[in-house]
Structure 1
């Protein structure tokens, strides 16, 4: 028999006791709710469990060789049933366990995410940052060498150069400069994206 069914039976016993308004034999409860599938001793056991939980819920008398022979409702019985009785107590207990298990699952998942973030994410982004900074340095060095190369070409020519050659050299410098600026901007955008992603984790 499930614990929920036992809780329902206890509430039925208490309601029946309220209905009787006097002492009555346990046999009445047995015949009303348990016969023929369960024994009389099981009914007596449920009554003892009620008394163990709260002695003010039910009054019992021994007799005829049994510890629980007769019983009667008490003043607190009605109030207890109005609050939901043993059925409500069972539901509340189940909800507590459900909440505890749910909370335990959330804590475990959070701990796992933290552990994964510490052990795998940070080293990964650290390597990527080093790689991107290396590429950024390479772009800067390339830009410097380009300037040096163009300046060397100009210095090796005659002191007087034509306007066309000068304009051509300046145009080459602008094109190279624009290409390098685009690479720098792309690398900066990648770095910012990685930083924001790492901060979000």
Structure 2
């Protein structure tokens, strides 16, 4: 009995990797991430297919250059087909990227497992640094708020002391002026009484009978 030949699964070839010029590279040729928190899988440990040059999307409404605007050239079947193939290629790329990234810590080589653990430690360290920075910033803001409240309270206390001092000086001045006026009034009344008594005594000397009863 003749054995049937084995059929290999159909695979769609992917073009060679072409790194984008907008992504900075490290000394080893891998993309360098500058963000604080990156999405998983990170670009440092992703396969080269993640950065494969994808075909540009075709605008179906724009006719090809150099062709006349006739009904045959305005059909979009070919453009739609190319865009659909581009979409499938991008979906396949993302699937391979996530599948390979999640399979490395379980089925990868010891070096890949160590890289995964190193990346995990680095991400945890970044998160801890970010949390500490946020807590430090919050603490500094609370310190500034407390300092502002203390400064405002000190300002209010100084204003109260100044108002009390001004009120004390005003009342002291009012008391002294009132005392001066009262003493002046008492002195004038005493002088007037002395003058009247002197005048009455002089009247008694010249008229001892005091018929008018004005002398006391």
Q: TM-score interval w.r.t. the shorter chain?
A: 0.3 to 0.5
Bigger Cα Rg: 2
Provide TM-score, normalisation by structure 2.
0.32
Q: Which has the higher contact order (CA 8 A, sep 6+)?
A: 1
Q: Which has the higher strand share?
A: 1
